[in-house]
Amino acid sequence: MEYLKGQPRDQMVLYATCLDDVVEDQNAVRFIDAFVKTLDMEAMGFRLLAKEGRPSYDPADLLRLFIYGYMNRIRSSRGLEKECKRNLEVIWLLEGLRPDHNTINRFRKDNSLAIRRVFRQTVSIARSFDLIGGLLVAGDSTKLRAQNSKKNNFNQKKIDRHLAYIDKHLNEYENAMKKADGDDEREEIQKDIDDNHKRRKQYKDLEKELKESGETQISTSDPDSRHQIVRNNITEVSYTVQSTVDAKHCIPIDYKVTNANDKKAMGGMLRRAKSILKTSQFTALYDKGYHTGSEFKIADELNIRTLVAIPGIGRNSQAPDPNYNAENFTYNPITDTYQCPEGHTMKSNGTRYKGRNGTFKQYKTKACKGCPLRSLCTTAGVNGKVVQRTEFAEHIEANTRRMESCDGLYKRRQAIVEHPFGTIKRQWGFDHVMTKKTMKGASADAGLIFIAYNLKRILNLMGMKNLLKELKKSLIEWLLQYFVRKIARMMSTVESQLVYFVFNRLSLTQ
């Protein structure tokens, strides 16, 4: 039986083609190339210019390489270096350039802020194609594992445990030293004692560093990462990535890398969303992890409608009979009093106490002592039932009313915000941070992930042909703006203002 045979490897071939013919017209690399060409790299803040020696690589080329890599699930700098030598798409994209892995890695590490601005540009493109509705958004966070093992993360309790273990062994070695026979045995024991003293000093230094930092934990490999609960009782040393996603096509419009939980994140997310969407006339959906009074106050001050899931009542705050839980007590804002389910009036002495989530007042009634239903209402032995009202209570109550009348709108939250996370972590396998050391590097890695996601999403929704057509228009617009700026710099203030005015008028009439 005959088979198809390939061309002999030692046969000389003269290709009558150019590199551009190798990449088809509908290939995604053409979109990446066109997108990067629309960016003003200097305005974005990229800095990679060699002051002396051989010329440095153009930041635009390294950005093209990273976008291609992340869109094709290649994040390693060494992996990207290999692709520059063997992948025809990358060879076309970089026009044959072959940066080494150190250059590639430094670009990502040193350009965190510029990468964030590129992400914002992907959002601008999505808006220009009417892919962002701006009426409904959802926010949530996900954990990305850091380049720091649990073994290299310490808190005071863990340090004390290690020190106690070492001290125990030192006592054993000292007792063994007293009973040792011969110099060889003593020398071996002394070596173990010295090693344990070195280890003890290392843990004492860690303890000192922990106390000076004011933090509750410290990571030695990636200092900004924190040991956090990932899900249920599973923990990892990780970063928290906060993201806001527009509902129309599940396109992320904002991200931020932190090492904290969700409790105090909503206010900042809403401020950034308002700045990006240039309006406050949208509804934002969040899960119960964001249910914090101070953040509701920020939302109300921004005039943004929020729907946040209401967490369950803690075990310590539960009444023996759920009908007598604090939420069933009626507050009167005119008299600043509460009325219990049995009709008794509860008053405050006017004192504000400091708590973890702001200040609060306490409301009590003397009628509690003689109430026949007291055992159903409280287990307190002395003061009876005490209701606390925080300074943010009216904002929290407003959210409760919105949740009760939202007509199922909140149920859309998970489908909106989990779409990007599901694609990024489950489909692409990006469940960890590639960069090591500092939150700045982790932010650059997350930024490139979201850039790749947005560009892929836009490409799938719009199609290659329409995208290239629109990006060419954007490129022409950018070039015109660039030359206008150049001309304006050479003129006086009045003349430059006139140039900008004429250019803007011409743009509006197109």
Residues 426, 41 contacting (CB under 8 angstroms): no
Mean pLDDT of the chain: 86
Q: Give the pLDDT confidence of 454-494 residue by residue, as tens digits.
A: 999 998 988 877 777 776 665 555 555 555 555 555 555 55
Q: How far apart are CA 221 and CA 149, in angstroms?
A: 8
Which of 145-149, 197-201, 338-342, 378-382 shows the lowest per-residue confidence on average (mean pLDDT)? 378-382
Q: Could you tell me the sign of the dihedral formed by the alpha carbons of 99, 103, 105, 106, in that order? A: negative
Q: Give yes or no for a contact between 256 and 242, defined as CB atoms under 8 angstroms apart.
A: yes
SS3 96: coil
Burial track 41-71 (b if 16+ CB lie within 10 A, e otherwise): beebbbebeeeeeeeebbbbbbbbbbbbbbb
Task: Specify which of 265-279, 304-318, 340-354 reaches the highest per-range mean pLDDT.
Answer: 265-279
- pLDDT beyond 80 at 349: yes
Residue 50: predicted pLDDT: 54
Nearest to 277 by CA among 242, 307, 309, 247: 247
Over the stretch 369-388, which tens digit does the pLDDT of each residue have? 888 888 888 888 777 888 88
pLDDT of residue 507: 46
Where do the H-state alpha helices sit in 95-182?
101-110, 112-128, 156-179
Three-class secondary structure of residue 363 per DSSP: strand
The per-residue pLDDT for 198 is: 93
pLDDT over threshold 50, residue 503: no
Task: Give 318's pLDDT tier (boundaries 50, 70, 90).
Answer: confident
Mean pLDDT of 388-395: 90
Residue 91, pLDDT score: 92
pLDDT in tens, 43-62: 888 875 555 567 888 999 99
